[in-house]
A and B are shown apart, each in its own frame.
Chain A
Amino acid sequence: GENVEQHPSTLSVQEGDSAVIKCTYSDSASNYFPWYKQELGKRPQLIIDIRSNVGEKKDQRIAVTLNKTAKHFSLHITETQPEDSAVYFCAANSMDSNYQLIWGAGTKLIIKP
C-alpha cells in the first residue's frame, strides 16, 4: 500500500525567505497530491493540490511541484510571512484503499521575525 514520508519535521525560516517541504510516496499509481495547513488549535485545511498529469501548480506565494519519476512532491512558500507559521501536511491518494488519502507526518513551519 501507499506510504508517505515528509521532511523536515520542523523548519525555521526568516520572515521574507522561502520555505520548502518535501514528501515522497511509494505507490506509482497515486495520482493526486494535496497539501493541508493546520494553524494552532484549528482544523487542517486544503491550501493547494496537484494531479499527476501536471508538474507544477502555483497560487500566489505557494507552489507545488511533482516529480513522478522520483516519486516526490514539494511545497514551496515564497516571501514567508508570520501567518505562514503552522503545521503543513502532505498526502497522496491510495489506489489500494478506494482513493483514500495517506498522510505525511507533518512539518511545523516557524517564521522568525
Chain B
Amino acid sequence: NAGVTQTPKFQVLKTGQSMTLQCAQDMNHEYMSWYRQDPGMGLRLIHYSVGAGITDQGEVPNGYNVSRSTTEDFPLRLLSAAPSQTSVYFCASSYFSGQGKAGYTFGSGTRLTVV
C-alpha cells in the first residue's frame, strides 16, 4: 500500500513549456485534489475530483488542467508554464465517512521551478 505517489519530485521548466505532474493512489478513494503551496504560505486548492470522470475548479485553477479517467490517477497539466507557477504542488487523496470525517493523505510533493 503506497498511499499517494507523486512524480516527479523536482522539476525545472522554461517559461512557455508544458508538463504533466502525475498523481496515483492505491486506497480506492473517490476524492482527489491538487494544491499549490508557495513559500511560507498555506494550501491553495487548484482542481479537485469527486470521482472518475468528474472534475471541478478550486481557488486557483487558471493555467492548469486536470482529468480523471480512472479512480487511481489524477494528473495535473501545466499548459504554458509561467514563473508565477513556481511552487510546491501537493496531490491529496481523501475518503469521507457518513459522519463527515474526512481523511486526507498527501503525496510527498513536487517542487516546480519555472525560469
Residues on A facing B (Cβ under 8 Å): 30-32, 34, 36, 42-46, 49, 51, 89, 93, 98-101, 103-106, 108
- Report whether A99 and B102 are in contact in the complex, using a CB–CB cutoff of 8 Å: yes
Provide the residues of chain B in CB contact with A42, threshold 8 Å: 108
Q: Mind listing 7 A-B residue pairs with CB under 8 Å?
A: A32-B99, A32-B101, A36-B104, A44-B43, A46-B104, A93-B101, A101-B102
**Contact A100 to B100, CB < 8 A, known contacts A43-B108, A44-B43, A44-B90:** no
Q: Chain A contacts of B102 at CB under 8 A?
A: 32, 34, 93, 99-101
- Asked, given contacts A31-B99, A31-B100, A93-B102, whether A43 binds B43 with beta carbons under 8 Å apart, the answer is no
Bound complex: CA A91 to CA B51 (Å): 22
Given the complex of chains A and B, what is the CA–CA distance between A70 and B104 in angstroms?
A: 26
Contacting residues, chain A, for B107 (C-beta < 8 A): 43
Interface string of B76-92 (1 = CB under 8 A from A): 00000000000000100
Q: Is the CB of B43 within 8 A of A103?
A: yes
Q: In the complex, which residues of chain A have a beta carbon less than 8 angstroms from the beta carbon of B8?
A: none
On chain B, the residues within 8 Å of A105 by CB distance are: 41-42
What separation, in Å, do the CA atoms of A89 and B41 have in the docked complex? Answer: 11
Q: How far is the CB of A2 from chain B (nearest CB, A)?
A: 12
Among B41, B50, B106, which residue has the most Cβ atoms of chain A within 10 A?
A: B106
Q: In the complex the two chains form, is B101's CB within 8 Å of A100's CB?
A: no
Cβ–Cβ < 8 Å partners of A106 in chain B: 41-43
Closest to A4 in B: B42
Q: Which 5 A-B pairs have the closest CB atoms?
A: A43-B106, A105-B42, A31-B100, A32-B100, A106-B42
Within B100-115, which residues are at the interface with A (CB < 8 Å)? 100-104, 106-109
Interface contact B42-A103, CB-CB below 8 Å: yes
Asked if A93 and B100 make an inter-chain contact with CB atoms under 8 angstroms apart, the answer reads yes
Q: Report B79 CB to chain A, min CB distance, Å.
A: 25
